[in-house]
Amino acid sequence: MRILHLNLEKGWRGGERQTLLTLRGLRAGGHEVALAARTRGPLAERAAAEGIPVLACGGVPGLARVLLMSGWRYDVLHAQTAQAMSLLAILRPVLRAALVFTRRTAFDAPGATARHRWKWARADALVAISEAAAAAPRALGLPVTVIPSAVEASPADPEGVADLRARFGLDDRRVLVTAAALSPEKDPLTLIEAVSILRRDHPDVLCLHCGADGAAAGAARARVAELGLGDHYRFAGFQSRVADALSLADVYVSSSRFEALGTSVLDACLAGLPVVATDVGGHREILAPDRGLLAPVGDAGTLARRVAWALDHPEAARAMGERARAMVAREYAVPAMVARYESLYRGLRRA
């Protein structure tokens, strides 16, 4: 099959990683794949470095030109972002290929879901990465296929590990790691409050926050300073090799307010780490019933108590992490995800 994936995001986050993993797997399966992506963006550059053909676009107008000029060459046009699906919906009357959209969020602004129905209904196949992400379109009566995102094991680099250990003073510390942008939906302020509570009885704890700056960055840094947490909460910035940080962790923590799935939590599970996360969408699907510990959104006290339990009961916490590792290795493997998309595409070609 000839398949074009569409993703105009400017950064490198979970959706872009999933786009590249899917393209890589489809190509390995013998399909002719290409990517329409933002010019000089990290996704375009990484795909090109792997030999995947890239149709570079400066933005939505450029993507529209690509679709109008080259869309006829493909059997499937797969939108990996809501923005790309909006464009496919507008151009639906002149596009001959099957249209697929993967929904990667479990949150919509009030009143927005009904507005989305128009474009969602124009996809030949609507995919969600979790049951949480599928809930909104299903509530509108639309059929949804759940194909979970995938993760693959990535070995830590000894030099990178040593650098993190030295740069952030991790020797003789019990280390928490979170990998999340400093944005409101990831709720770093609740995690900071939890670490402030935790340090009272665990003075050796240190949280290493891996993630790019976002709209909550200023408030997060100010709160760390206000609480005098400089020796317990360190901002590591975006880490291209999160496996290095995970190899140093005793516990992985996520304080997200919304999470359709949570590939960072999947990474932590695949590394065998005990995970403490907020009781939202994808976290619940990955960690329940006995593969992790959940805390209510915004509840710093409960989050701190869950982390304290994992630190104070290392054998039980490791066993919990091993149960999660086994499940993630089985259910969230890249070959399984790619096979599900291949089956979906073939069904659309026969329809």
Residue 222 CA to residue 228 CA, distance in Å, equals: 10
Mean pLDDT on 4-22: 94
Q: Are 144 and 134 in contact (CB under 8 A)?
A: yes
Give the E-state strand segments of 243-344 in sequence order.
251-254, 275-278, 293-295
DSSP string, 74-101: -SEEEE-SHHHHHHHHHHGGG--SEEEE
Q: What is the pLDDT of residue 148?
A: 94
Using the predicted structure, report yes or no on whether residue 270 has a pLDDT greater than 80: yes
Q: Please report which confidence band the pLDDT of residue 108 belongs to, taking 50, 70 and 90 as the band edges.
A: low
Residue 154 has pLDDT above 90, yes or no: no
**pLDDT tens, 303-346?**
999 999 999 999 999 999 999 999 999 999 999 999 999 999 99
| pLDDT tens digits along 278-292 | 999 889 999 988 999
Reported CATH class of domain 158-331: alpha beta
- Give domain 2-150+333-350's CATH architecture: 3-Layer(aba) Sandwich (3.40)
Across the range 258-287, mean pLDDT stands at: 94
> Could you tell me which residue, 154 or 63, shows the higher pLDDT?
63
What residues does 99 pair with on adjacent strands? 77
Global pTM reads: 0.87
List, by residue range, all CATH 3.40.50.2000 domains of the chain.
2-150+333-350, 158-331
Q: Using the predicted structure, report yes or no on whether residue 351 has a pLDDT greater than 60.
A: no
Task: Determine contact, residues 136/113, Cβ cutoff 8 Å.
Answer: yes
pLDDT attached to residue 290: 93
How much is the pLDDT for 41?
A: 95
pLDDT value of position 197: 98
Q: In 3-state terms, what secondary structure has residue 165?
A: helix
Mean pLDDT, rounded, of the chain: 95
